[in-house]
């Protein structure tokens, strides 16, 4: 059984087709990187997978449980979502790390990490605090527990965001360009943290412009362009691809990847 299945997903904004019939499967513990030019639908695909955007058509399944499916009507098919309570259960399977951190500015670092386990998952406050402190330690931020987001660097904010996502104990973590808002020095520290998560056997789907990172960390790389998956496979296959579209995109990164 797959951890996540997305089948024949379609998403449009008015007359603009952003995702055109994409299917994607992720196994438990698998690390999948999604690469491609800006505007190719990568972030939208992640937002659809995490229910932040509604799909027009298609099916989304977590561990065999359908979150979304398509019902055919006389006017054609349209997506139907599971009932609220069922969706809430399904949503426990995943966490999402945004490119702009999305931390609560008026909460301390510790409260940012503790908040969802206590208020959403109704976990014991003391247990949630203990877990949050362990995660902050793992992120190298235990001395920042009482600080506020405005007192942190971008890299530290992103590590808090990762700790917050991990606090919900997800089976799969989605990263939407986790380093795009950071300068190169801070990018390195966040990528190092994401690399360390691979040892936890959490599945990860990472939308990234960091090609060397995608090549080194992923079990599978997906190249998207113009709302479709152009190519997918093991990193060494995709990065040595003969496909013209893939080559044109990767050509810009070719010199960098040789190092």
Reported pTM = 0.92
> Does 258 score more than 60 pLDDT?
no
* Per-residue H/E/C for the chain: CCCEEEEEEEEEECCEEEEEEEEEEECCCCEEEEECCCCCCHHHHHHHHCCCCCCCEEEEEECCEEEEEEEEECCEEEEEECCHHHHHHHHCCEEEECCCCCCCCCCCHHHHHHHHHHHCCCCCHHHHHHHHHHHHHHCCCHHHCCCCHHHCCHHHHHHHHHHHHHHCCCCEEEEECCCCCCCHHHHHHHHHHHHHHHHHCCEEEEECCCHHHHHHHCCEEEEEECCEEEEEECHHHHHCCCCHHHHHHHHHHHHHHHC
pLDDT for 257 equals 53
pLDDT digits (tens, 9 = 90+) for 214-231: 999 999 999 999 999 999
pLDDT at 186 over 70: yes
**pLDDT single digits (tens) 93-126:** 999 998 888 999 999 999 999 999 999 888 999 9
């Amino acid at each position: 059984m797959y951890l996540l299945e997305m089948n024949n997903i379609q998403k449009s904004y008015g007359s603009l087709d952003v995702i055109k019939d994409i299917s994607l499967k992720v196994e438990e513990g698998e690390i999948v990187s999604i690469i491609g030019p800006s505007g190719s639908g990568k972030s939208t695909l992640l937002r659809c997978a995490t229910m932040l955007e509604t799909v027009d058509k298609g099916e989304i399944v977590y561990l065999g449980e359908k979150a979304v499916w398509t019902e055919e009507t006389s006017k054609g098919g349209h997506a139907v979502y599971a009932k609220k309570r069922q969706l809430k259960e399904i949503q426990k399977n995943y966490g999402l790390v945004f490119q702009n951190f999305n931390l609560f500015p008026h909460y301390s670092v510790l409260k940012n990490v503790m908040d969802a386990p206590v208020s959403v998952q109704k976990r014991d406050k003391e247990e949630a605090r203990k877990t949050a402190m362990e995660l902050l330690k793992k992120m190298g931020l235990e001395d920042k527990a009482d600080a506020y987001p405005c007192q942190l660097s971008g890299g530290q904010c992103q590590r808090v965001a990762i700790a917050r996502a991990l606090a919900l104990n997800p089976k799969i973590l989605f990263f939407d360009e986790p380093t795009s808002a950071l300068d190169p020095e801070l990018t390195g520290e966040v990528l190092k943290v994401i690399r360390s998560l691979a040892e936890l056997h959490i599945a990860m789907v990472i939308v990234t412009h960091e090609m060397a990172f995608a090549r080194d960390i992923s079990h599978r790389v997906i190249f998207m362009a113009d709302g479709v998956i152009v190519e997918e496979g093991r990193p060494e296959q995709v990065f040595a691809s003969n496909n013209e579209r893939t080559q044109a995109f990767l050509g810009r990164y070719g010199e960098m990847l040789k190092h």
